[in-house]
Amino acid sequence: MKRLIKFDKFVAGIILVIVLAYLLPGLASRQSSVPLDTIAKVGISLIFFFYGLKLNPDKIRQGLRNWRLHLLAQFFVFLVFPLIVLAFYPLFKSGTYFDIWLAFLFMAALPSTVSSSVVMVSIAKGNIPAAIFNASISGLIGILVTPLWMGIFLEHQSTEFSFITVYTDLVLQILLPVVIGLLFHRYLGNFASRYSGYLTLFDKSVILLIIYKSFVHSFEDGIFETVALPQLAMIYLAVLAIFFLVYALIGGVAKSMKFSIEDRITAQFCGTKKSLVHGTVFANILFPASFSIGIILLPLMLFHVTQIFIISIIASKYSKREIDIDTVKTYS
């Protein structure tokens, strides 16, 4: 029960920086002399360097054995999620709320989370090695797939969007640091494991800085004056609907494929997650200056809070079941 009522500190941090962006915008205002853009770019590269540093090539190779589970999870993360949102494109393509729809597509096209997926699968007594593999590989796939989904629409919305520019930035800021981290894994992998908690704190601090900057600019431009409470409620209802639909679909497909309960838990937990870390980073690279990053991140942040809360409840219920000792040995 304690796990259910435990308040997520990162969620509290997001709420706090949004409030600070409204009350104390000076640090990140466009007139500020503080080079937050440069700090954020360096921080992003370090996040993905540490990400690569923590990836164990041997464990990645071992994880490939359970390919049916990984294929199912990534199929939903990168194909089913976006297709659900894409189905509503005719309703929004020429309307006032096209940017909101685009924000939902962006959320849907993002990779799965890393830390929370593994933690929740662990609590629920699922397949932990498979969760680690899924979360790790999803972030790498997202570097290629997410821009492809968004580019289909951004190319027609802004002359500033360029696939060459986007992929150049992604390679330099994300992929290259990951590769360098992987190359240094054999030398610094133990360091990354030992200080994993501090590295996670650093990751979240950079993300909070980017969210703060994005919301300062959104408040300066008066973007949220166009989003009334009823519209915010509708956005949240849509977030809930997408989450439960995908969760149910993955569960049904996993059952039909005769997955074990451990694999089904892993598929549902990893396949319904969306990474706020990747989303915050990708938004600043993919979207031209004419877009409000605050609005683009809004559905994703609501989804992030929702997925943590709901999956925590489900994981706690699963944790109470009795499991066979051989299963524990297999997945430990």
**pLDDT for 238-297, tens place per residue?**
999 999 999 999 999 999 999 999 999 999 999 999 988 889 889 988 888 778 888 899
103 — pLDDT class (breaks 50, 70, 90): very high
Query: b/e string for 83-117 if b means 16 or more Cβ within 10 A?
Result: ebbbeeeeebeeeebebbbbbbbbbbbbbbbbebb
Model-level pTM? 0.83
Mean pLDDT throughout 313-330? 67
* Distance between CA atoms of residues 299 and 104, nearest Å: 6
Tell me the pLDDT tens digit for each residue of 231-249. 889 999 999 999 999 999 9
Give the rounded percent of residues in the chain with a pLDDT score beyond 70.
92
pLDDT at residue number 271? 94
| pLDDT of residue 9 exceeding 70 | yes
pLDDT for the residue 332:
39
Residue predicted with more confidence, 304 or 84:
84
Q: How confident is the model at residue 75 (pLDDT cuts 50, 70, 90)?
A: very high
pLDDT score recorded for residue 327: 46
Is residue 243 within 8 A of residue 80, CB to CB? The reply is no
pLDDT at site 324: 54
| pLDDT at residue 3, as a whole number | 46
Which residue segments constitute the domains of the chain, with CATH numbers given?
34-318 (1.20.1530.20)
pLDDT, greater one: 52 or 327: 52
What number of residues does the chain have?
332
Predicted confidence band of residue 329 (pLDDT cuts 50, 70, 90):
very low
pLDDT, tens digit (0-9, with 9 covering 90-100), for 144-158: 999 999 988 887 776
* Res. 225: pLDDT tops 80: no
State how far the alpha carbon of 177 is from the alpha carbons of 44, 145, 203, 278, in Å.
9, 18, 14, 14
Instruction: Assign 102 a pLDDT band (cuts: 50, 70, 90).
Output: very high
